[in-house]
Amino acid sequence: MQIGFKALEAKFGVMLAQPLRVTSIIGTSRATRESLRGIENQYPAVYRPADTFAGHFEFGLKYEEIDLEFFTRLFAACGPQPLEEWCRAEPFGQYARRAGFFYEWLTGNRLDVPDLTGGTYVNAVSDDAYLTRTKAVRERRWRVNNNLPGTPAFCPIIRRSPALTQALQFNPLDALAELDHQFGEDVLMRAAAWLTLKESRASFLIEREADQTDRVKRFVHVMAEYCGKLDEPLGTDGLAVLQKGILGAAALRLGVRRSPVFVGQATIREDVVHYIGPHFSVLGDMLAGLQAFEQATRGRESLARAAAVAFGFVYLHPMSDGNGRIHRFLINDTLLRDQAIPAGVILPVSATITGVREFGHGYDRVLEVFSRPFMRRYDAAYRFGEMVEYEDGVKSNFVFDAYDDANAAWRYPDLTEHAIYTTHLVAHTIRHAMADEVRVLVRLELAQQRIKDVLEMPDMDAVRMIRSIKEHGWRISGKLVKEYPMLDDKTRALRVVEAVQSAFEDREPLPIVE
């Protein structure tokens, strides 16, 4: 026998885009089974709740997970009556109060029950189990501390699962300090410009636009100029600055979209839809909710915040163009804003996504955590009809018939897996990608020093020689000799090659005898 939220789902015929992760049943003993489909908890008979709305909802609040999409759809199906009866019967019961609070917060409708005039305040959700607001808002009517991190229009949920708790033990500042300790003080600052360029190029690889030199340069400028520096990057003005910087003033379309959007791919026979974005009429409120989340959670775990801000943004897909690049910008921006990484340092997370198979595939998989069940729920609700030109100039024949129904899913995404992925992504980027880049920088600087012991020259010429020698397998090419005739001297040329090669092989240069 199913109990808790699953029982209410069945009783009221609730249809979810994101299935409930937890199933609770009555059995002979206490047991838990986890699988790809979720968690099944078995409880002995003593746990059996009353077979009423109040009984099952209270059990769910006690032993299961908060699911705001489910609450929204359940409240729409059951109406206010069962909550009003429960709150009148148990006016000071913490679970009745929390249920009443959730109903009013999510629906915007007021229950016909009196305000509480006394009693201890209880948290809406557990700070130990979820990422919550840094400072809760007291709801005097219910004597509830509203610590939900967003707004009714948009409130991502991050569960403090064991996997996330373990992942969040990684400290980016400590890991970066270790790089400085290993390779020399301020080495990251010397590598900052190259790391920013690396991130920008890789971000365009994700967009399949790596050959667009001018666009890469624009993104380099945006990353260096604005990361961690805009007052409100998710505000209307902040997003306008980012989008214009990324796309350029001559971009065809700027601003928040006023047309439908889907993510997919074109085939010979038809367009395949992988994900559908919210209707443009609700984007303002949803973006304000994401901005409220960013503001309300400041002081909480930076890596989890970065994941929620970045992936929350990409699921809203709010801009007319540039969503993917802004999404990846927001990861670095949040970490810099929280001082989780030093000012001036850009983590090349896009390079890890494009260069490491595990994270490239993982990026797609984590996006599908939300998009795949969403599309299963709405696979029959979209079609391609007549071409329509929208306010922003976009012409589209895409029609989605379930915008209102899908709002409950779009507004309350569970981004726990996204937080785990982002934490591992940042950890790998620092420990491997950045360590490798810093190692190359240190070797390059050593090669410059050693080559100048052979030939005095400006830095640009030294770098030109080093690149050519390295690219040609520790040999001096004829082209390089034409450019630098002094290298026609074989002994001098051998000394130059040895200066460069020894630096990159982490050894002392061998003596070259004339």
Listed residues 114, 129, 144: the one ending a domain: 129
**Token pair 């909802």 is at which residue?**
57
Nearest to 92 by CA among 118, 61, 57, 123: 118
- Quote the tokens at residue 137: 């808002």
**Token pair 């009809």 is at which residue?**
385
Are residues 198 and 101 part of one domain? no
Q: Please count the structural domains in the chain.
A: 3
Q: Is residue 267 part of a domain?
A: yes
What whole-number distance in Å separates Cα of residue 281 and Cα of residue 77?
24
Are residues 227 and 175 part of one domain? yes
Query: How many CB atoms lie under 10 A from the CB of residue 361?
Result: 11
Give, in order, the Cα–Cα distances in Å from 370 to each of 274, 276, 285, 315, 483: 11, 11, 20, 9, 56
64 phi, psi to nearest 5 deg: -115, -165
Q: Is residue 144 part of a domain?
A: no
The series of mean pLDDT values per 10 residues for the chain, 514 residues long, is 96 97 95 89 96 98 98 98 98 97 98 94 98 97 98 98 97 92 78 70 62 70 89 92 82 84 76 93 97 97 98 95 89 96 89 89 96 96 95 93 98 98 96 87 92 92 94 95 93 94 93 73
What whole-number distance in Å separates Cα of residue 75 and Cα of residue 229?
41
The confidence score (pLDDT) of residue 511 equals 85
**Token pair 């920008």 is at which residue?**
200
Are residues 262 and 224 part of one domain? yes
Are residues 81 and 9 part of one domain? yes
Give the domain CATH number at 429. 1.10.3290
**Token pair 């209307």 is at which residue?**
236
Contacts for 62 with CB less than 8 Å, ≥ 6 apart = 95
State the number of CA atoms in the 13 A half-sphere of 462 facing the CB: 18
HEC-encoded secondary structure of 436-495: HHHHHHHHHHHHHHHHHHHCCCCHHHHHHHHHHHHHCCCCCCHHHHHHCHHHHCHHHHHH
Are residues 392 and 332 part of one domain? yes
- Quote the tokens at residue 348: 């090349």
Are residues 218 and 249 part of one domain? yes
Are residues 401 and 299 part of one domain? yes
Give, in order, the Cα–Cα distances in Å from 175 to each of 123, 259, 429, 430: 35, 43, 10, 7
Are residues 259 and 399 part of one domain? yes
Give the pTM. Answer: 0.91
Are residues 69 and 26 part of one domain? yes
Q: Is residue 145 part of a domain?
A: no
Q: Is residue 481 part of a domain?
A: yes
Q: Is residue 147 part of a domain?
A: no
Are residues 471 and 394 part of one domain? no
What whole-number distance in Å separates Cα of residue 182 and Cα of residue 201?
27
What whole-number distance in Å separates Cα of residue 353 and Cα of residue 363?
7
Listed residues 79, 106, 129: the one ending a domain: 129
Nearest to 174 by CA among 335, 341, 345: 341
Are residues 466 and 346 part of one domain? no
The confidence score (pLDDT) of residue 268 equals 56
Query: Is the separation of the CB atoms in 484 and 465 below 8 Å?
Result: yes
The confidence score (pLDDT) of residue 411 equals 98
Pairing type for strands 144-146 and 262-266 reads unpaired
Q: Domain limits at 86?
A: 2-129
Q: Is residue 57 part of a domain?
A: yes
Listed residues 434, 465, 480: the one ending a domain: 434
Query: Is the separation of the CB atoms in 65 and 159 below 8 Å?
Result: yes
Contacts for 119 with CB less than 8 Å, ≥ 6 apart = 92, 97, 143
Q: Is residue 461 part of a domain?
A: yes
The confidence score (pLDDT) of residue 113 equals 97
The confidence score (pLDDT) of residue 139 equals 97
Are residues 415 and 473 part of one domain? no
What whole-number distance in Å separates Cα of residue 344 and Cα of residue 336?
8
- Quote the tokens at residue 316: 């809203």
Q: Is residue 65 part of a domain?
A: yes
